[in-house]
Structure 1
Amino acid sequence: MTSLGLVGIADKGTYSAEATYNKGQFVLYDGSTWLALKDNLNGVTPAEGENWKYLARGFAAELLSLVTAIDSQGLSGSQGGQVNAQSLIDVLADKVANQLIAKSMMSNVQVNDAEKVPTSALAYAMQQSIETLNSNTGELGSTSITVYGNYCKATKKNGFVFVSGSSADKLLTASTYNDITTLPEGFRPKHNFYFTAGSMGGGIEIFGILYTSGILSLYPVTATKYWIYSFMFPC
């Protein structure tokens, strides 16, 4: 019986020292494609010569340090210059490890994450917040301070201002605002503060306003010299 033999080129996959290869078969070895030139090649490692011929040399067949590349970004040398490919890869790896990865580990927001560290901007903002909180806390816990004005007593304590006053002799003109006193800075509201007052004995409506300037005024519907008020607002 006549043998037809091998026809064409056959792909035998990755080279194995235990396999037997015949002429016309090709294998992948060390990143390159090699073609068998003889039959019954067993344990014969692919190498350029009478037994094997490479068809396509892979990158693994060359040392990266022998390859020349163009440094288009000037990472390893001058921009656009020729550099050793290995050195260029090393520079890129260093930048990824020390700059990009490090940057990804930083955070500009407060987050409970062991893999994140705050940026200097965030750390500064947090410190400012802590100092402000400490300042406010100190003020809240401070001893009360009281000031006296015309028909007025104002006390600041625990973050609030308490204001009260009364009269049995100061006549308030009807249907107009009557200025009573002016509170000093530190005892003034951030916005105009409106409140209601009363007449001793009742029966007379009195409205009040404390301006941000510290001026305290009373507006009675009916004239009276007997009046009383008290209110509070946050510092």
Structure 2
Amino acid sequence: MLIRWTELSYPDLGAYRDQAAVMINFASTEQHSLHLPVGTDAFLGAAVTERAAELCHRPVLLLPQVCFGYSPHHRFAPGYVTMPQHLLKEYAVSICENVIANGFSQMFLVNSHGGNQVYLSAAVNEIGEKHGTEFQLRELQYWDVARERISAIRESELGGMGHAGEFETSMMMYLRPDLVQEEKIVPCGPVAERPWFQKDLLGSKAYQRFHRFDEDNREGHIGQPQLATAQKGKAFFESVTEELARFLDYFD
């Protein structure tokens, strides 16, 4: 059950303390190749968390999402708003501390931008160190809970689904077709696999490194956006929202 935090009066909000989980999406503002808007991660993250909350059997209080993230990898193209990781970590921790102060005991941080993963993991550790098991905090990238279903839908090989590739482009075609400039999609092959590092949404990475998003092509996407369709986007969306709802309900 979706309940928007900002739409409640304070007596109503207080009544949910013992029964509701709190959820918030962390997104970004950055280039998504030539064919998608710079707010893609925010559009997708908002739609996914809202629908997943609607599908939940338990009440889920949804906080307003954070639309700025860690995006220095995208400075080659205009449109980015990137923040230092230490500030983003402190911001996330402060949000969590306020949720705790409001009397809630369970919270989910949903990440719709891979570049946020490091600072969000640090925030989880910091809150856990301070509050222990009294406050149940979990963080995840929304696509990770639906890996098997995404794999069954995709047409691209490994390296064909990443930033502004088959997955994100398909979801935007389904959710916001008015913002997809299909005529600007630049076809390309999958990103070549590197030893111990598969540059793909579902790829295995044995190590981490900093890389600009114009390394593989000058347009800034990773994967094969030409394989995207709205029909596939609907299937991706239903998969990630249903699996995220199942994940949220599991911890009830």
TM-score, with length taken from structure 2: 0.20
Greater relative CO, 1 or 2 (CA 8 Å, sep 6+): 2
Larger Rg: 1
Greater helix content? 2
Greater strand content? 1
TM-score, with length taken from structure 1: 0.21
